Structure 1
Amino acid sequence: MDTSTFSTIVTELGTIWATIFSWDFGRYLVGGGGIFLLVWVLLGRRLQSRKIRANTPKPKQMWAEFKASAITAAVFGLVGTISHMGVTSGFLQPIYGEISEYGWAYFLFSLVAVIVLHDAYFYWTHRLMHVRAVLKRAHYLHHRSHNPTPWAAYSFDMVEAAVQAAFVPIFLFFFPLHGLAMFLFLAHMIIRNGMGHSGYELFPRRWAVHPIFGWLTLVTHHDMHHENGNYNFGLYFSWWDRLMGTEHPDYLARVTGDKARSRQPADVTEAKENA
């Protein structure tokens, strides 16, 4: 390979990376920044009763979250560039443009599948990152936001950023995905992520005990994970936490305000209150 060809390839890859980085960072600004603007600025007073914790994070923390998220977007851009190479080479399944290629039934199936499988992937990689030896190297930065803000949506260590970005090429190894389905999945991801770190319970509290909506992770669910990292590892849904016994025993009591819903023994709950 001569110098000119190598230079052309590097330039093309750099352009692809810059495009994907711009998209990912822009998605973070619209999602995380949009949630911050809407919840913290425009509706802050109206939502005061829904604020989960009394304390409000300082601007210094938000700035640190923002800088870390920018680095995460850069890592996402790198993994996205590799994914692009995999798709164009045929190693990965295509991101196709015409719904008629696979039909509407497959479109809907793939959209549900990518969200459900991402939730499973997140739960198990997240639990792995809470193993003490891994936590310090892969997940510690995110938990520096003990009381998170929407800007913490992508505040990851570089290792965690790479692990989370790897889900897309893993999914594309098995399933083709329409471009619109990819867009909807990524939009859903950042919106739920921004909401989950907003510090305000934005969902109806009764959803926590609803037979259907109860499987969704409300904002309090993830906020309690930042408060106590031993519980609530799920992203969109609570079923893995409930199946594996990792949902916080006080979650339902906290979100509904009904102490009778605590799954802790009464004497333990009372001891906490009196401590």
Structure 2
Amino acid sequence: MAGTSSSSSWLQLLHLQPLWGGGFLVALCQLSLFYYGLGAVLHWVVPLLGPVQGIQEAPRKPGEVARDAINSIGPIVVKAGIWYIVEQMHAAGISKLYAGPVSSPYQVAYLLLCIVLLDYLHDAWFYWTHRALHWRPLYRWVHWEHHRSTAPSAFTGYAFHVVEALIVFANEVLVCWLFPIHMGLHRIYHIATTVIHEAGHVGYELSPFIPTLEGIAALLGCGLRGSPGLNTVQHHDMHHRYPTKHFSLYFTHWDRWMGTLHPKYDAGLFRYFS
């Protein structure tokens, strides 16, 4: 009986069910499979499917990709732990999280509104915590780990210090008190943010194909010209070359307002799709 119970548990883990509420190990498996699977596709598969024009000026050093893939393990564990904390908050009824079926047009519209709110809140949190991480003591002892890669790859997305992981991912707990969020949306959204982190480091231009609601709207309205208000791979790639510029994640408005947008950025914007 014990063996049957153990096999059943592992089967549940391998099928990654349920989406949420399965505890720390399920969260860790979901995130690890998504992160390393997506990283492999972006780093090795996409360049094989068609020509990609690199935007990095410096070549990657030998062993850099493997080092970043290994250094991503700590932050992935931290993020999975935060998801487990969110599950416990929901179970204890100490947040604005909710669950249940989503069926009516009103409920779907509210989920879409939540995604837009989460995008802008996440972007603001990332901009200001990122700038704080460039404060000399924090940069020297924490954030420098991420900047070891001047020519980043998809696996650089979460290749940072665990203290930085606690800071960067803390917003995933904080938003649970701001407005009602469906548990399923919370999990799916914060898995999807991994796309932004990995794609932003991949080394070739993907914008406007990075999947956000705003990116989809820009693609429909502007085509391959994209929107200067949305971040690109070039945007964050320049941050690794010019560490005092480009601190935002989704949008460029904070960098424009605060004077941290590199003067060369707009001139070369979207030239990779010309």
Is TM (by shorter chain) over 0.5?
Answer: yes
Distance 1:76 1:256, change over 3 A: closer
Secondary structure in structure 1 of the residue aligned to 2:204 = coil
Matching of residue 27 in structure 1 with residue 46 in structure 2? no
- The alignment of Structure 1 onto Structure 2 pairs a total of residues equal to 237
In 2: Cα distance, 1:212 partner to 1:255 partner: 9
Aligned pair partner of 2:268 in 250, 254, 266: 254
Aligned pair partner of 1:233 in 236, 244, 247: 247
Secondary structure in structure 1 of the residue aligned to 2:72 = helix
Secondary structure in structure 1 of the residue aligned to 2:63 = helix
Contact 2:201 2:236 in 1 (8 A): yes
Higher helix share: 1
In 1: Cα distance, 2:164 partner to 2:75 partner: 9
In 2: Cα distance, 1:38 partner to 1:188 partner: 19
Stretches of structure 2 that go unaligned for 5 or more consecutive residues are 1-21, 209-217
Matching of residue 200 in structure 1 with residue 204 in structure 2? yes
Aligned pair partner of 1:117 in 121, 124, 128: 121
Contact 2:230 2:251 in 1 (8 A): yes
**Identity score, percent:** 31
Aligned pair partner of 2:76 in 73, 76, 99: 73
- In the TM superposition, 1:125-164 aligns within 5 A as 125-164=129-168
- Compare CA radii of gyration and give the structure with the larger one: 1
- When the two structures are superposed, what TM-score results if normalisation uses the length of structure 2? 0.78
Distance 1:82 1:203, change over 3 A: closer
- When the two structures are superposed, what TM-score results if normalisation uses the length of structure 1? 0.78
Distance 1:82 1:184, change over 3 A: closer
Q: Find runs of 4+ consecutive structure 1 residues off by over 4 angstroms.
A: none
Amino acid of the residue matched to residue 222 of structure 1? Answer: H
Deviation at 1:41, TM superposition (A): 4.1
My pick for the range that moved more, 175-184 or 56-65, is 175-184
- 1:77-133 C-alpha deviation (Å, 9 max, x unpaired): 222222221111111222423225872232111111111111111111101101111
Secondary structure in structure 2 of the residue aligned to 1:86 = helix
Aligned pair partner of 1:61 in 52, 59, 64: 64
Secondary structure in structure 2 of the residue aligned to 1:213 = coil
Deviation at 1:76, TM superposition (A): 1.1
Deviation at 1:54, TM superposition (A): 4.5
Deviation at 1:23, TM superposition (A): 1.4
In 2: Cα distance, 1:55 partner to 1:166 partner: 33
Contact 1:137 1:159 in 2 (8 A): no
Secondary structure in structure 2 of the residue aligned to 1:99 = coil
- 1:214-258 C-alpha deviation (Å, 9 max, x unpaired): 11111110000001110000101111101111111111123356x
Stretches of structure 1 that go unaligned for 5 or more consecutive residues are 1-14, 258-275
Q: CA RMSD in A?
A: 2.5
Matching of residue 213 in structure 1 with residue 205 in structure 2? no
Matched residue, 1:89? 92
Matched residue, 2:15? none
In 2: Cα distance, 1:212 partner to 1:63 partner: 32
Contact 2:58 2:150 in 1 (8 A): no
